[in-house]
A and B are shown apart, each in its own frame.
Chain A
Amino acid sequence: MRGISKAYMVLVMVFLYAPIAVLIFFSFNAGNSTSVFTGFSLQWYKELFQDEETLSALYNTLVVALLSSGISTVLGTAAAVGINKLNKWMKNVVMNITNLPMMNPDIVTGISMMLLFVFAGSILGSDDVLGFGTLLIAHITFNLPYVILSVLPKLRQLDSHLVEAAEDLGCPANKTFFKVVLPNIMSGVITGFMMAFTLSIDDFVISYFVSGPSFQTLPLRIYSMTKRVVRPSINALSTLIFVSILVLLIVINVLQAKDEKKAERRRRAAK
């Protein structure tokens, strides 16, 4: 029985990671082929960093990711504070509305947003609205629920007497938010930001529909590269993206684990 379950685990891992392993392996290929390994080299990485289009796509990705995750963190935290103050019934309604876009298939979200942007553009008298602005708005939109979901539990755990204690000591409500509430929900805010950042770097489908030809992100760049002659530098670029996302996810997990330990210690100290 144990043998079977072990074999099963290995099989799952192979299926999940074999494609990525092959991709990483061939990104170091000295030859031109994507199927025959002729020796180790970093030439494809070199080529990548000499390609202007790729570099500008990298720059665009980072700008959109930073801006969209930053803005959605601020908006999402504010929203979470508001939602936390609602009564139970309203909270459920609002949370369901918030969660719905996460369940929605990306392609539906992407197409509907594109239609909305084009429609809004036509009202404003422009027939070329798709680009940086629309991409940013779309990223903020799909990031928001993740920020809310990571901040809300921290707010719920916050002892409501802390806020009262601050007021009691002469602190008005808005100051209390920055001096007492924010430091105590910070771990949730940071997790939310990191998640938003990761999702934003990662996104292809929605970006594909809402961005115009003038503005490319890395995933879009990879896609456009595959449409021409497939060069091994795609492997190198994909490897880099995979590794960055992996690092981000590990950081998020480590942060969460640390935070849980801290909460556990506090719970024990309170007893």
Chain B
Amino acid sequence: MSSRVCRTCGGSDIDVDQARGSAVCTSCGSVLEDNIIVSEVQFVEGSGGVSSAVGQFVSADGPVKAPLLGSGFHTSVGKESRAQTLQGGKRQIQQLGSQLQLNQHCLDTAFNFFKMVVSKHLTRGRKTEHVIAACLYLVCRTEGTPHMLLDLSDLLQVNVYILGKTFLLLARELCINAPAIDPCLYIPRFAHMLEFGLKTHEVSMTALRLVQRMKRDWMHTGRRPSGLCGAALLVAARMHKFRRTVKDVIGVVKVCQTTLRKRLTEFEDTPTSQLTIDEFMRVDLEQECDPPSFIAAQHKAKMQQLEQELARKLDDVEGEISCYKDEIETELEKSRPKLRGIYAAYAKEIDPEDAEVLSTTSDPEEPEVEEDELQAAAQHLTQDFLCQVIQEEEGRGKKTDDREQEAGPDMEGVETQRQAAPLAAILGKLPSAASLGLQQTFEESETGEKPDDEQLEGGELDLDGIDDQEIDKYILNEREVQMKTELWMKQNADYLKEQKEKEERIKKEKEQGTYKEKPKKSRKKKEQMEASTAGEAIERMLEKKKISSKINYDVLRDLNSRGTGSGGGSSPSRASSDPPDINATTRKRVNRRRRKKASNANRDLAANASMMGKRVRLLISSTSKKKTSNQTENCVTMTTDTTTEEAAAEGTPDPEPYTNPTPAAPPTVLEEEEEEEDEVEEECVSALQLVGDYGCEEEEVF
């Protein structure tokens, strides 16, 4: 505006009259501007005296370029619902960010990340909460703020690993390299929370030094940084004569006691821990340590080695011991008084017996398993008794002697000859022998029925390398099956009871006729409807089901009957044309909002398009005086009047996608200012009139 200087006379005194909209030079009187464009809000009066502002709200995050007429429409319509998503996301980011005390710059960056995420469709299938938290954490990492993922999960009450998964995925998809977490970042924050007063800074510095030392000693790789910080702060506090207990620190740092103690012990193992406080502040040791887990592994390996060596040495020594032992025993034998009675029989058993005993147990041909078991049990029990008796009479050597004779099979009594061990060995041997016997009998009975190696057709089981006998061991015999059945029934009594009750319930319901099949997840295939016109298709669909409660289907049917003539051509063509991808999503979203159940997309499109077509047809028929049908292209005005938000969002996007893809038949859709979707449907007749009345105004409003 050249309101500063007049063009004719050069005078700078210019009078701008807002009322008349003119700028006049007061010196020479020349009119500089006429019909000045004002940027004020205008009001119009609606029906019933309601005055409303003229204009449309353009969101700050909306389309960058002005919505173009005609072709540009579908994109801006698509972004409308997108804009809603972004708006909602922004709100949540602000909320969460303020709880974390992030500054505005961070929140804006987070919002930018969110926008990127939405444009890459990564929000699908994920809770917006999680996505927002991940975006915020991404910002925290890139900016280097001392916020942990744990803080976010605390706020949201979500498992930290779930958040971590989302975060990792977003970082990968957005190709954002989040710098690694440095524990040094957290020190000031934790120090502040521990309330060191004036000396907070000094304590922080000391703690920082400690952390750096820990880093050099390889204590920080693979560990949570908060644990390290906790340990460092604890030590630093103590160094500066503050009394902070482990409990205080873990409350602030959010690790558990064990972790903290472990870090402290690890630090203790490093050579730095040996320095005094002054030395530590001054000197930095050159040597770096190995990571503590590696040291632990080495330690374990060493212990194992030592044990092996010891075992070997033991073996050597045992040899010596056993010969001494034999000598002692023979001596004792000689000096032992003779036993009488039943004990004599046992006492006479000497080494040849051992061999026999060994052979009998190794040869498991026990025809009747049970009897043998009983015998063996009786034997062992008496041996037990014997041992005790003899022990009281004689010395230890006696005991070992007896044990060696009776417990023939368990000749591993070379080691420390304590009473408990061999007895346990004896008793332990019993079940194994029994099971061996069992297996043997089972095998014998099985040999009769053992099937030949069958080759089954298709999916043959190749049997080499399979030891059938061994496999047979895996199968129980009759009696065992019975026992197992009993056991299992008892164990799972609750579950079986539940199942029975359920069955009874189902039976009862079946009798009553109220039996409801458990809803199956597989969707039934909807039969393709064949209809010559879209109108017919709608009829059929409406007959089948009522989709929305907000739509007055009767009126809809009336519409159909009215506009079959002109609209019949246009709507099928629209229905058949494949919508461009940009619209597909918006359409589906719109559909989802309208309909509660998911239905066949095509049918919906057909129905929708035809419904739109109806509306269009109506408008065309009503405004036919103004415009010719089908051929003329008129402006499609889009009112994004958000006085009634949802209606606008829901209603306005609808006609747009349908009008654009068909250049051949560009119906003009003049959007009424809809208050409610249902109202539009119900009062279609009156809406017609509305449209007719407001036709001009619609065009103006832009």
A is bound by B? no
The chain A residues found within 8 Å of chain B, CB to CB, are none
The chain B residues found within 8 Å of chain A, CB to CB, are none
